[in-house]
Structure 1
């Protein structure tokens, strides 16, 4: 067996030559100094300090050297690798500091900027008021009933005791749905090709449908949109929101109607509000009445006092809300209800008019034009 080669000189190993190690170190330091960001520095580290880097390969050659040569070669390689690692750590700190400083500038939040540049939304006050009215009657045991907005004439007129020549059945008051061909003869002003279908002029057809579909007794409230051929102005609109009430049971009288109206008005306007009934005529109720409530502004104090005029009631002391009455027996008969056993009452009013009273809205056009400046003050009340 031959003895170890003690004359083996590490200088003769290409990877361990001093000039080779110095060159690898200088190339690594130059690349580290030139790294523009942390991502580039990671690539430099892999190339000059990774397992396949020149200095790492040189370090592997040390194991093959004779004992007396390992120390000197290890010292040179170790110093070079230490310099590279130190340069990597220093450059990493510099790049991280630059990154943090840049982030503070680029992602800074100016807390003095307005926080409400996108305004908060608002529910339309008609929706809010309609739901409040529904809640009042649901708490009394009523149900909310709905029906189609495009309605047959029978439901809209005939079942409600509107005679064929009633003025409300003409095109001056009602929107008729045009048919595809010539229709039967109807009212004098009805279009020749009418289909017998109209845009409902009130929510009373929902009352008729409720009597036909539900078991007696019936207590329903019927809110919804209705359509009439009115010009859009400060006090009228061709599309508006109406709410009607129907109560059919044994023994109901006009006194029950009066108590119900008082409760509704007091719930909406205050406990000191009262109502009055004035004789009137409606085809679907008999007897019928117009319902007034005491003026919510002056409470009647402006009547006969020129020094204290009231714009809300024109110093009359009362404000008209809508129509009401005891359900006409003909309506009950048309819906299959025995008028000898059952009686009931109904009333209806426009929610737009109620909104004008509650919030001093002077122009009904503000409710339909969609201007957020009108709806926003009402907020998101639910």
Structure 2
């Protein structure tokens, strides 16, 4: 039996050395060390031996089995390394070749505009305030001095969900909610966000658009504070040479109210097609917060005052980038969006 065992070992080692790949090596392992292999059969036949020979033969079988196993594992590692090396040689890469360019997009022009405006007002001490897009009639109209039946409501064709719930037509409800939460404390915020109106979709109107509104409330706030703020905004967004003009207007939530124009950046004020030969471009509405609005929010109009302003994000972007159709911002046309390259950021 000892001679038979040594013969099996020599056969197994020879076949292990001759194996050229992992499959052939696994076949050798199964043939000699598997459940039906000859070495396993020898272990099963130990019971037929005399009792005094069993320990010696058992130890010998285990030694042979261990030797074959170690040689198998060493050969397997060698073949694996060889296979990896062959694969590397076959799949070698010329590292001097230029890499494939990765297409990187840029921020949407509306995102660029709102971030630029936010950065400006944050640097002036403003906070960013947000509110729900599905709003109560009270905050969208009544808290802003627009009671039910007020004719100025007709200026905003509204999407109503129910008699008291609607899609907000402006971001002003955020101002009303903020004033209510502050309970008479000072306020200095801007409110960017989506608004919704039943406007006909054309080159300058959309049923959904974005607004950015600002609100400042404290003691001794005057019209000169509003004008200085708007003048700084115009110069930062459209160039230091820009001038502003305030014209009387009407908004139910401000008194007095103004429309702000900036000097045309195309013709410098001499008159062109962009400014319709006037030299000025209308850009936003503003005014001093109406005393009724202050009172409804819990402020004393005799002790505090404030100003508010509002602008269309799309209008600012159209003027800043020379876009002639508001619908370009929402069609996801890569030819349009690719013009706003990331290197401009």
- Kept in 2, the 8 Å contact 1:218–1:248? The answer is yes
Of 251-260 and 313-322, more deviation after overlay is shown by: 313-322
CA contact (8 A) 1:167 1:173 kept: no
Instruction: Please tell me whether residue 196 in structure 1 is matched to residue 159 in structure 2.
Output: no
Instruction: Work out whether residues 191 and 212 of structure 2, in 8 Å CA contact, stay in contact via their aligned partners in 1.
Output: yes
Q: CA deviation at 1:112?
A: 4.8
Q: Distance in 1 between matches of 2:255 and 2:80?
A: 91
TM-score by length of 2: 0.75
* Residues 114-263 of structure 1 mapped to structure 2, 5 A cutoff: 115-116=100-101, 119-170=103-154, 173-178=157-162, 195-214=163-182, 215-263=184-232
Equivalent residues of 2:289, 2:307 under 8 A apart: yes
Tell me by how many angstroms 1:159 deviates: 2.0
Question: C-alpha displacement at 1:262, in angstroms?
Answer: 0.6
Instruction: For 2:259 and 2:244, locate their aligned partners in 1 and report how far apart those are by CA, in whole Å.
Output: 10
Q: TM-score, normalised by structure 1?
A: 0.68
Corresponding position of 2:67: none
User: Aligned pairs, how many?
Assistant: 308
Match status 1:278 vs 2:247: yes
Please state how far the C-alpha of 1:230 moved relative to its aligned partner.
0.9
1:159–1:94 CA distance, 2 compared to 1 (3 A): closer
Deviations 1:159-188 (A, max 9, x none): 22225334553597111113xxxxxxxxxx
Following the alignment from structure 1 to structure 2, what is the Cα–Cα distance between the partners of residues 343 and 27?
A: 98
Alignment map for 1:1-382 (pairs within 5 Å): 15=3, 29=14, 32-33=17-18, 35-38=19-22, 40-41=24-25, 44=28, 99-106=84-91, 108=93, 112=97, 115-116=100-101, 119-170=103-154, 173-178=157-162, 195-214=163-182, 215-300=184-269, 302-303=270-271, 310-376=272-338, 377-379=340-342
Residue number in structure 1 paired with 2:58: none
Give me the whole-angstrom Cα distance separating, in 1, the residues matched to 2:131 and 2:318. Answer: 26
Larger radius of gyration: 1
Q: Distance in 2 between matches of 1:92 and 1:341?
A: 86
Unaligned runs of 5+ in 2: 40-70
Two-structure CA RMSD over aligned residues (Å):
3.7
Give distance in 1, aligned partners of 2:97 and 2:200: 49
Q: Structure 2: how far apart are the matches of 1:255 and 1:27?
A: 99
